[in-house]
Every structure is written in structure tokens, then in C-alpha cells.
Amino acid sequence: MAAVPSSFLGTLFVVSADPSVISFAGGLPSSAILDAAGIAGAAADVLADAGPAALQYSTTDGYLPLREFIADRYRRRVGLDVTAANVQIVNGSQQCLDLIAKCLVDPGDAVAIEAPGYLGAIEAFSLYEPRLSAVPVDGAGPDLAALERVVARDRPKFFYAIPNAQNPSGLTYPDGARRAVAELLDGSETLLYEDDAFGELFFDGRPRRPIGADLPGRAVLSGSFSKVLAPGMRCGWLVAPGEVLAQFNVAKQAADLHSNHFCQLVLHRWLTTHDLDEQCRRVAGVYHENCRALGDALDERCPELEHTEPEGGMFLLARLPTGVSSLALFDEGVRQGVAVMPGPPFFLEGGDDVIRLNFSNTDPEKCAEGIARLSRAIANLA
């Protein structure tokens, strides 16, 4: 990632524990939407029914009924032609970043990634020493000319993309851009790696068609229960063609034998005794309110900031006035009692002209006050 002063992470850590600082810098789901009572009931039922078997070692691929649930939901919601045989359970979709890179990337291999892109992906991939190529994204989707150039020139092993309510930008690829990406990658040597962490959190509730649906055999898709049910249980999945999954399964077994079996049973119990659609609507409803309040506050207090208009997810991206550095704004913001996430960690280079704002953990009242503080911080720097 682009260079960040080492003091930044330390300050971020300190301010995240300081209640006097209103934070838009975080990335947690709202605790208010986590169903502790429902999970408690599911855990009790699982242990009463399965007993010690719920605590035993299990298979590397994961709990079959959970994998069936995930495959069924993809078939039903977005018409993806998959079965449980295409699904591998992992420790949150972060583990897919590590293991896909482990399977596919040798030092010096090219990997294409969005700019801005997900920080955790840049970190995970970097440990395998790839050459990372940036593909700019905006409201129209990825820069197709740039993607075409990167694919032809660098022959990346895969293009890593978050087409649904991206972290950090909140951008969603329009349908036309999805088809164009599929056409562009079709017949190339580049696999599509589609990270769908936020696809259940569209404010309009409408599922978006995965790009991989039009790239049979040439796309992998990751997802997670972290954003809608229980991030601390670290339960996500990879959906992939058989030959990719076979290799991935070997890496998963070497990495940690299998994912938490007890929590797979608990999540499956919750999913079969509760309404996941209703839960997603509830979460998306809260985030939609928060997002609207954040956008309104920005438009009112900081009209000089151009910002994305998310259709879902937990983040938006704002472009700063010329001459205002996001890293300087982070420091000045903390002095004013507000924390934002500076841009550089989301870029391979540059990015100091944007900030990421989280809205999953802001309520409309705190939000207005936070953006008023941000406005003062910007005025002090301009």
C-alpha cells in the first residue's frame, strides 16, 4: 500500500478507544444488529442435540448442510449454478484472500486490484510478493481500458474486485459494467476473484448478479456471515470451480485443518430457525438511514467534498478540496474530536486526496456533530 506514517496506526488505535472522538474511521458492523439471543438459543440447541459431536474435529470442506444452505441461496437469489460441492467454508472471507494468493501467486506474478481497493486484500496478497496492478474504479465501474491494458500487458493471475458496495468507496458496479468485465476477462488467462462481503446489504434489497455468473469456470466468489450475523465467529466461504477448490482445500487443510465446527453448526441452526432475508433487511435499513444522514450532513456542512452515493454496504468515499491532505486531515480531525480514515492505505500509490467514512456505527445525531467537527478541521487546513 502507499506509505503511511507509522504514527498513524497508533493514533487510530488510541482514538478508537476515546469516547470523546466521533469516529467514522472504523469498519465494524453495528453491534445493535447482532442477534445474541438468537445465537444463544442456537448454541444451546446444537449442544443439546449433537452433544460432544459438535465439539469434535470435522472435515476440511466444512459442514455439509451449511454449504448446501449457501449454495441454495446463491441459486435462488442470483441464479448462480452451484452446489455444495462448489463451496468451501473458511474463517471469514479474509482467509480466502490469503489462500487464493497462496494457491495462485508465485513471487513476481501479477495481480490486478481496484484503486481504491480493500486494504486487507492488499496486505494479504503482498505477503506472496506479487506485482500489483491498479485498475481505477468510479461510479461507472472499473476503468475498462485500464483493465484491458493490465490484462494484456501483465497477464495477472486474477482480478480482485468488490463489485457490491465496495470497501472503501461504497461503489457498486452497474449491470453494464459487470457484463463488460465478464466479456473482457473471458478467454484471457486472468481469473475473476469477486469478493461479495456486502451483497446482502443493498438498501433496495435487490440482489445484484455476480459477474462470475457469466464466467463459468473462470471466477471465484467469496462471501461471509460477518456483515449480517456474527463477525467474531469468523465464518465465510469460497465458491469456486472444482479444480480451483481442490487446490484451495489442500491449502485450507494445511492452514488450520478446518474452520470452527461448533460455530458452523450454530450458524446453520440460526439460519434454519430464523429469517436471514428479514435480518438483512433490518441491517440494511439501519445502514441506509445512517448513510442518508451522513450524506445530508456532508452536503450541508462540507459542500466542497465530492462523495460517493452508496447503494449499500458500510462506507462512502469523499474527495478532499485541492491541497488538503487526508493524512493531515486525520491529525487535525482528531484535534477537533472526529476520526476519518485517510486514503493512502487503500491505494498502491497516492490516495491522499480522499477519505473513507464509515456509517455502520454512526447514528444520525452523532453524525451531524461529527461532520460539523470535520468541517472545522478542513477549514483549519484549507
Residues lying near a second copy in the complex (CB under 8 A) are found at 28-29, 31-32, 34-37, 39-40, 43-44, 47-48, 50-58, 90-92, 94-95, 97-98, 102, 120, 123-124, 126-127, 226, 229-234, 250-251, 253-263
Minimal distance, residue 36 CB to a second copy, in Å: 5
Q: How far is CA 186 from CA 82, 94, 208, 305, 361, in A?
A: 19, 26, 20, 38, 39
Minimal distance, residue 190 CB to a second copy, in Å: 22
Q: Which three cell numbers stand for residue 161?
A: 474486485
Q: Which is nearer to a second copy, 39 or 293 (CB)?
A: 39
Half-sphere exposure of 164 (CA within 13 A, CB side): 25
Minimal distance, residue 34 CB to a second copy, in Å: 4
Could you tell me which of 145, 205, 149, 140 has the C-alpha nearest to residue 178? 140
Q: Which is nearer to a second copy, 92 or 295 (CB)?
A: 92
Q: Which is nearer to a second copy, 94 or 375 (CB)?
A: 94
Size of the chain, expressed as the number of residues it contains: 382
Q: Which is nearer to a second copy, 83 or 253 (CB)?
A: 253
Q: Which is nearer to a second copy, 29 or 310 (CB)?
A: 29
Whether residue 382 contacts residue 324, with contact meaning beta carbons closer than 8 Å, is answered with yes
Q: Residue type for 15, please?
A: V
Minimal distance, residue 363 CB to a second copy, in Å: 16
Minimal distance, residue 158 CB to a second copy, in Å: 17
Half-sphere exposure of 105 (CA within 13 A, CB side): 26
Q: Which is nearer to a second copy, 130 or 337 (CB)?
A: 130
Minimal distance, residue 74 CB to a second copy, in Å: 22
Residue with cell 470497501: 167
Minimal distance, residue 126 CB to a second copy, in Å: 8
Q: Which is nearer to a second copy, 96 or 371 (CB)?
A: 96
**348 — phi, psi (to 5°)?**
-70, -35
Q: Which is nearer to a second copy, 43 or 348 (CB)?
A: 43
The rounded distance, in Å, linking the Cα atoms of 291 and 307 is 12
Q: CB-based contacts of 49: which residues, under 8 Å, 6+ apart?
A: none
Minimal distance, residue 30 CB to a second copy, in Å: 9
Q: CB-based contacts of 40: which residues, under 8 Å, 6+ apart?
A: none
Three-state SS across 204-245?
CCCCCCCHHHHCCCCEEEEEECCCCCCHHHCCEEEECCHHHH
